[in-house]
Amino acid sequence: MKLNNDEFLKVVENTPLVSIDLIVRNVKGHILMGKRKNNPARGSWFVPGGRIKKGQDRNEALARIGDNELNVELTRDDVRFIGVFEHYYENENFAEKEGVSTQYIVIAYECYIDLDIDKLPNEQHSNWDWFCESRSGEVHKNSAAYFKAVKVGDIDAAYSALNARRDAFNNLLWQTPVMSLIAQAFLFTIILSPDTETIPRIIAVILAVITSLASLQLLVKHRYGEEYHAKKLCDLETVTGRYPVNQYHEPKHWFAGRKSFRIWCFFLLSFGITALLIQLLVIFWPHLITVNRDVNLSASSNLVTPEQETLGKPIGDLPVGAEKDRDCEVEDGNLQSMERKDVIR
């Protein structure tokens, strides 16, 4: 329900209003101000803003105010919360009625937009200009407070924080496939071993699939965080005139230009698929594993020790000195046999 002027004046007289102020900065860090046409603060330089209407949340109010005041689409991702301020206008109100004051509880947001002030709307403001801190004495005291609340030096702190967060996500991004490969190598050792029983192999296959899917989810999540902060850094570099360190440049070589993220996503997913295929092969063609096991067993049974090889050779084929050693071994065997017979007697 929309209130008429008399009803709204009654609200202004008895309750505070909740509003949003936009601290808009250009590439030089200057703050956008408009000379107000209406009360309160008529004729003063003031930051753009507006009240939150009944039934609107902050996202909807921010979008409406950005469109009405600046002709731009704003979301919560485009702004940074500064703080809550209280603005009080003694004997000032939109209806210019004597004895009625206006009180605002203001939610202040900061954003960086390089606007052309000649194309900004003029319904609420007769003129627009960019103000540095040295000109804060020319603006309304409530807007001048924003120069103290937000320093240009905060831009460097925000830039450093964004860089640190992007580096953290980037490190986590490429640690994920490394840890996954270590786990998969262990699991596939169990899966492909011919000595592995059925139940342990099934458990290893299940763990390989879970590891593959979990690693893929982590890879995608860390990639999103890295790209999100990279975009924020690029935007901040653009509006502040910094050197575009974080902007992506496509490699000229065709092989280097392939997306590593997509390649690793496919690679991690292939581990889970391969583990399932191996399990199906074992179920329907078990001889593929058992044949290898039988071959290993038969090969181990045919192994001959050096002692057995020496005893099995004819005396004429033995090397020099080996014949004497063999006779000693035979005599030792005969003595042991005679001792056993004496014990039996």
Q: Name the token pair of 77.
A: 């991702």
**Cis status, amide bond into 286, omega within 30 of 0:** no
* CB distance 32 to 47 below 8 Å: yes
CA distance linking residue 27 with residue 132, whole number of Å: 12
pLDDT at residue 300, as a whole number: 52
CB contact burial 133-161 (16+ within 10 A = b; e otherwise): bebbeebbebbbbbbeebeeeebeebbee
Structure letter (DSSP) for residue 52: P
CA distance linking residue 230 with residue 246, whole number of Å: 6
Residue-by-residue pLDDT tens, the chain, 345 positions: 678 889 999 999 999 999 999 999 887 778 999 999 999 999 999 999 999 998 899 999 999 999 999 999 998 888 988 889 999 999 999 999 999 999 999 999 998 887 889 999 999 999 999 998 889 899 999 999 988 876 655 677 778 888 899 999 999 998 999 999 999 999 999 988 888 888 998 999 999 999 999 999 999 999 999 998 888 888 777 766 677 777 776 777 767 667 888 888 998 999 999 999 988 888 887 766 654 444 454 545 555 555 555 545 454 554 555 445 545 454 555 545 444 444 444
Comparing CA positions, the residue from 155, 170, 118, 126 lying closest to residue 25 is 155
* CB distance 289 to 200 below 8 Å: no
CB contact burial 182-202 (16+ within 10 A = b; e otherwise): ebbeebbebbeeeebeeeebe
Structure letter (DSSP) for residue 319: P
* CB distance 166 to 230 below 8 Å: yes
pTM over 0.95: no
CB contact burial 54-63 (16+ within 10 A = b; e otherwise): eeeeeeebbb
Quick check: helix, strand or coil at residue 248?
A: coil
Backbone angles phi, psi at 250, to 5 degrees: -70, 125
pLDDT at residue 302, as a whole number: 54
Q: Supply the Cα-derived Rg of the chain in whole angstroms.
A: 40
One DSSP character per residue, 118-130 reads GGS--SSEEEEEE
CA distance linking residue 189 with residue 265, whole number of Å: 22
pLDDT at residue 223, as a whole number: 92
Q: Name beta bridge partners: 241.
A: none
CA distance linking residue 71 with residue 327, whole number of Å: 109
* CA 326, 331, 336, 337 torsion-angle sign: positive
Comparing CA positions, the residue from 140, 149, 154 lying closest to residue 33 is 140
CA distance linking residue 271 with residue 209, whole number of Å: 7
CA distance linking residue 89 with residue 93, whole number of Å: 8
Q: Name the token pair of 183.
A: 């786990």
Q: Name the token pair of 270.
A: 């292939």
Each as own residue / partner, the long-range contacts of residues 145-148 (CB below 8 Å, 24 or more positions apart, any chain) are: 145/85, 146/21, 146/23, 146/31, 146/47, 146/82, 146/108, 147/31
pLDDT at residue 235, as a whole number: 77
pLDDT at residue 278, as a whole number: 87
pLDDT at residue 343, as a whole number: 43
177: CB partners within 8 A, 6+ apart: 215, 219, 264, 267, 268
pLDDT at residue 318, as a whole number: 46
Q: Name the token pair of 206.
A: 């299940």
pLDDT at residue 161, as a whole number: 85
* Amino acid at site 222: H
* Amino acid at site 61: A
